[in-house]
A = this chain, B = another copy of it.
Amino acid sequence: MRNQEKDYSGVSVQALWRLPYYLNYIKSLDEAKYSCISAPIIAKALNLNEVQVRKDLAAVSNSGGKPKTGYVAKELISDLEEFLGYNSVDEAILVGVGHLGKALLSYQGFENCGLNILMGFDKDEAIIGTNVCGKQILPLDKLKDLCWRMSVNVGIITVPAKEAQMICDMLVEAGIRAIWNFAPVHLHVPDYVLVQNENLAASLAVLSKNLTESLKEK
């Protein structure tokens, strides 16, 4: 469910997943000590293959790396951020202000990644009109109009599984072009709408399966 997207700009989907880790790692380094950083070092730090790292970076880096020294850390950071779209901000709205919804509304880190969650929507009268981290919670019937007016491109779904498809339809109706779906269901959308699934249950399944096998081994 994760790998259905085509590869754009010569970067495979899997590579795309690795890029934020590169960015993160390079940013975490002491600038003075590591003005340059090489593929082998990154590979070792992140438990990856050296060639793989080099290939991934080749697709992203504008200036390329130099033999013996590697890539200029500062340039690589900005190339990665540029490539990942952290510089251009996407406006988003979130539907379903439960525990998870609130957590996402409150999370400050998204803004560094180019995502700005403008507001939340819910059907529960009790929380409509309240604030979460300065973000207003509005009723669902305001959704369509607001999305159009503010040209919101991204919708985040954090409602229960049963309601997800209905909300999804509303979002499509409202002109949303990309959906970040936290409900554990497959959503049906028109071709021009992207869906990125964040299925905790599936993730957990992978973890638990591996754990079982790992415990069996010993």
Residues of A in contact with B (beta carbons under 8 Å apart): 1-5, 8-9, 13-14, 16-21, 24-25, 28, 45-47, 83-86, 88, 90, 98-100, 102-103, 106-107, 109-110, 113-115, 153-154, 161, 177-178, 180, 184-186, 192, 194, 196, 198-215, 218
Output the least CB separation between A32 and chain B (Å). Answer: 19
Would you mind naming 12 contact pairs between A and B with Cβ atoms under 8 Å apart? A16-B206, A17-B205, A20-B201, A24-B161, A90-B211, A103-B103, A109-B184, A110-B201, A177-B211, A194-B210, A196-B203, A196-B210
- Rank and list the top 5 A-B pairs by shortest CB-CB distance, nearest first: A99-B103, A20-B202, A196-B207, A103-B103, A178-B211
Q: Report which of B8, B102, B201, B215 forms a contact with A103, defined as CB distance below 8 A.
A: B102
Residues of B within 8 A of A98 (CB): 103
Say whether, besides A102-B99, A200-B198, A213 and B14 are in contact (CB < 8 Å): no
